[in-house]
Amino acid sequence: NINPQRLWDSLMETAKFGGTAKGGIKRLTLSDEDRKVRDWFKAQCEALGCTVSVDEVGNMFAVRPGRNNELPPIAMGSHLDTQPTGGKFDGVLGVLGALEAMRTLHEQGYETNAPIEIVNWTNEEGSRFAPAMLASGVFAGVFTPDYAYERLDRDGISFKDELERIGYRGTEKAGAHKFQAMFELHIEQGPILEDEQKMIGVVTGVQGMRWYEVTVTGQDAHTGATPMYLRKNALLGAARIIEAVDAIGQKHQPGVATVGLIENKPNSRNVVPGEVFFTVDLRHPDEEVLEVMEQEFRAALEAALTPMKLAYEEKRIWNSPAVKFAPELIECVEHGADKAGFAFRRMVSGAGHDAAYIARVAPTTMIFVPCEGGLSHNEAESTSFDECAAGAQVLLNAVIEHDRR
């Protein structure tokens, strides 16, 4: 059995790397804080006798040998980066829960058949560098390393420069590191488990998601001297699209649709805004409905902006199709939850996860635990001591079960 207190202590210890006044974490990928938590993680794994390697996009692999090292390892992985106003559990629980499982194996001298490893995937959040799940995507062959290197944050700084700056551009080719399966423990980030009082979510797949960037161009003008009928107000156009995107989400529930980021120019109190950049995030478990949502979004752009004499550019920058996880791994998770005596239910993930890309190259699944009020991407994100422990225990059980089979 895992050690719940040790797990909790590690969660609280690493929460200091980028800890915020409101109890959350701001640890954007490839920042100095990210470097610090990576250094800490590496040291902890090495203390267990694991070998830590880093690939060309900064993914970290900590391997503990098994009885038969010809077998590809069984991986447990998630991410240590966070949102700008992130919580203490999103991603972190998956890595530290895996570390706790590894520590338990080490402590008990438990010998697995295959090697076991922990993976820390780079830039899962996609907040600093879009898209999300970038480096697991490179690992899975969805993106090239160069595509990742060229991603720019909103200040124009590249993924590559930052990866090198923090010293985590490894030499191993992305994807060269093979494993036979991956289990990702994560907080649900939604309200279902809490509502139904289930401790464990057995994740059967991930919904499809698409990201877009839109730039609306009008004309900077004086707010006092420009009559209403002469305006080309880019922010008013953007406001209408924000409304339309929300309506698309409302219409296609359980799909969701959101404008999360907006930049207004020149952003001056007495200037009618001349240019607005914003992003759109559309998701649905059913690809066909997602396609309809996309069409409706594009139609809304045209219908709203053209009559306003606003020009616009729209680009789909990411399309991550709906994913189904591996049945044999799902069974291992159910077996693991059952063995530990936890109530569980199958569910589809609303959030994207590295597991969604890894599923393309290895059997993969996920384990969810509840979070308070379903709240995530929020500094107040909260998963209890017992819930964290339950997740790590089921992760260990599932890995052992898979190794046994």
Interface with ligand URP, residue 355, by CB under 6 A: no
The annotation status of 186 as a binding-site residue, yes or no, is yes
Choose the contact partner of 240 out of ligand URP, a copy of itself, none; CB within 5 to 8 A by kind. Answer: a copy of itself
Contact region for a copy of itself (CB under 8 A) — 1-9, 29-37, 61-69, 376-384? 376-384
Interface with ligand URP, residue 227, by CB under 6 A: no
Contact letters for a copy of itself, residues 277-296 (x by CB under 8 A): --x-x-x-------------
Interface with a copy of itself, residue 188, by CB under 8 A: yes
Q: Using H for helix, E for strand and C for coil, what is the string for the chain?
A: CCCHHHHHHHHHHHCCCCECCCCCECCCCCCHHHHHHHHHHHHHHHHCCCEEEEECCCCEEEEECCCCCCCCCEEEEEECCCCCCECCCCCHHHHHHHHHHHHHHHHHCCCCCCCEEEEEECCCCCCCCCCCCHHHHHHCCCCCHHHHHHCECCCCCEHHHHHHHCCCCCCECCCCCCCCEEEEEEECCCCHHHHHCCCEEEEEEECEEEEEEEEEECCCEECCCCCHHHCCCHHHHHHHHHHHHHHHHHHCCCCEEECCCEEEECCCCCEECCEEEEEEEEEECCHHHHHHHHHHHHHHHHHHHHHHCCEEEEEEEEEECCEECCHHHHHHHHHHHHHHCCCEEEEEECCCCHHHHHCCCCCEEEEEECCHHHCCCCCCCCCCHHHHHHHHHHHHHHHHHHHHC
The annotation status of 79 as a binding-site residue, yes or no, is yes
Choose the contact partner of 403 out of ligand URP, a copy of itself, none; CB within 5 to 8 A by kind. Answer: none
Residues between 85 and 114 that touch ligand URP (CB under 6 A) = 90
Binder among 273, 336, 363, 391 for a copy of itself (CB under 8 A) = 273
Interface with a copy of itself, residue 314, by CB under 8 A: no
Shortest Å, Cβ 353 to ligand URP: 5
Binder among 136, 207, 382, 383 for a copy of itself (CB under 8 A) = 207
Interface with a copy of itself, residue 262, by CB under 8 A: yes
Choose the contact partner of 124 out of a copy of itself, ligand URP, none; CB within 5 to 8 A by kind. Answer: ligand URP
Q: DSSP letter at 350?
A: S
Residues between 241 and 300 that touch ligand URP (CB under 6 A) = 270
Please choose, from the candidates 232, 256, 236, 233, the residue with its C-alpha nearest in 3D space to the C-alpha of residue 245. 256
Taking each helix axis from N to C end, the angle separating 32-47 and 4-14, rounded to the nearest 10 degrees, works out to 150
Binder among 152, 271, 311, 361 for a copy of itself (CB under 8 A) = 271
What are the tokens at 9? 């202590």
* 354/75 Cα distance (integer angstroms): 12
Interface with ligand URP, residue 224, by CB under 6 A: yes
Interface with a copy of itself, residue 124, by CB under 8 A: no
Q: Based on CB atoms, which residue is closest to ligand URP, 97 or 352?
A: 352
* 373/359 Cα distance (integer angstroms): 29
Q: Based on CB atoms, which residue is closest to ligand URP, 59 or 104?
A: 59
Q: Based on CB atoms, which residue is closest to a copy of itself, 53 or 319?
A: 319
Decide: 403 and 115 in contact? Cβ < 8 Å.
no
Interface with ligand URP, residue 125, by CB under 6 A: yes
Number of C-beta neighbours around residue 236 at 10 A:
18
Residues between 81 and 110 that touch a copy of itself (CB under 8 A) = 83-85
Q: Based on CB atoms, which residue is closest to a copy of itself, 77 or 126?
A: 126
* 275/200 Cα distance (integer angstroms): 46
Binder among 92, 116, 248, 351 for ligand URP (CB under 6 A) = 351
Binder among 185, 256, 323, 355 for a copy of itself (CB under 8 A) = 256
Shortest Å, Cβ 400 to ligand URP: 25
Contact region for ligand URP (CB under 6 A) — 34-42, 119-127, 366-374, 390-398? 119-127
Peptide bond into 285 cis (omega under 30): no
Contact letters for a copy of itself, residues 210-229 (x by CB under 8 A): -x-------xxxxxxxxxxx
Residues that contact ligand URP, how many (by CB under 6 A): 12
Which contiguous run of DSSP H or E holds residue 52?
Answer: strand 51-54
The annotation status of 335 as a binding-site residue, yes or no, is no
Contact region for a copy of itself (CB under 8 A) — 51-59, 69-77, 186-194, 382-390? 186-194
Applying CB under 6 A, which residues contact ligand URP?
Answer: 90, 124-126, 132, 189, 222, 224, 270, 351-353
Query: Residue positions in the annotated binding site for Zn(2+)?
Result: 79, 90, 125, 186, 377
